[in-house]
Amino acid sequence: MTSSTPTSSDSNNLPDGVTTTTISLASTGVASPSVTDMNPTRVTDPNVGISARRTVTLKIATLDAETNCDFWVGVASSGKISPLLLLEEPSVQTIFSRAAAEGVTESEPIMLSDTERASPRFVYLLPMPGAEFRDQVLWVDDLVATIRAWSPRRVGFYLAPELLDTGTGQSLLLMAMKELIGSTDVNEFYLLVGSHGLNTVLNGALQLKEEIDEDQSLNFMVFH
């Protein structure tokens, strides 16, 4: 694994006031990740024109290696770990655990980008939001704006219980998912179990389903 100097990204896609530092590992010859749209195909379904409910899935994963998700979101405390060292960790779970327990040197949101892997991996770490509801809304807004700018196909979450209590984490997750479903094309989400415990994550996922099912235009499904 080769390392590169951390660089700051001032992506033109991000709204004013939203900044993200991008820390990356990329070897020569590895193309920068991009999202392309498939060419449209002719529709021959006789039911074309009949409105259908949008299907959104939420999958519970005990290990990130069991998923094909390559874009993960989590929280980090302030500490002394260089983001480049976190990039060397083989599992997303370890990155999140160390970011929570030991903390990172960056005080702003960080995008860890590793394109040396067969399937490029992106881990977005945010500082913890403030305790006030307004602070949490702004935290979610920044998160959603960044995801819109990077346009991943799938998004996974792990809000470390060492940093956020269950109620706060659940509230942030619900707000973020509602905004993402409403403003992006992401239809596949993941929750990493980690130190939450399977029952806690499953119960939280079912609560999310109950809330999101209020939108009659969605077919929201939970898998575990």
- 78 is in which domain, residue-wise? 52-223
The reply to whether 118 falls in a domain is yes
Q: How confident is the model at residue 74 (pLDDT cuts 50, 70, 90)?
A: very high
Is the pLDDT at 27 greater than 50? The verdict is no
Q: Looking at the chain, list the stretches that DSSP marks H as alpha helix, in order from N- to C-terminal side.
A: 83-87, 92-101, 133-150, 166-183, 198-212
The reply to whether 46 falls in a domain is no
Instruction: Give the mean model confidence (pLDDT) for residues 171-175.
Output: 93
The reply to whether 83 falls in a domain is yes
- Residue in the structure block whose two tokens are 């993200």: 20
Identify the pLDDT of residue 21.
67
The reply to whether 171 falls in a domain is yes
The reply to whether 73 falls in a domain is yes
The reply to whether 24 falls in a domain is no
The reply to whether 99 falls in a domain is yes
Identify the pLDDT of residue 15.
56
Identify the pLDDT of residue 119.
80
Identify the pLDDT of residue 33.
35
The reply to whether 127 falls in a domain is yes
CATH of the domain at 92: 3.40.220
Distance (Å, whole) CA 148 – CA 71: 12
pLDDT per residue over 5-15, tens digit each? 334 344 445 65
The residues near 15 (Cβ < 8 Å, ≥ 6 apart) are 145
The total of structural domains in the chain comes to 1
Distance (Å, whole) CA 189 – CA 120: 18
pLDDT per residue over 115-145, tens digit each? 887 788 999 999 999 989 999 999 999 999 9
Identify the pLDDT of residue 175.
94
Q: What is the pTM of this model?
A: 0.77
Distance (Å, whole) CA 68 – CA 144: 21
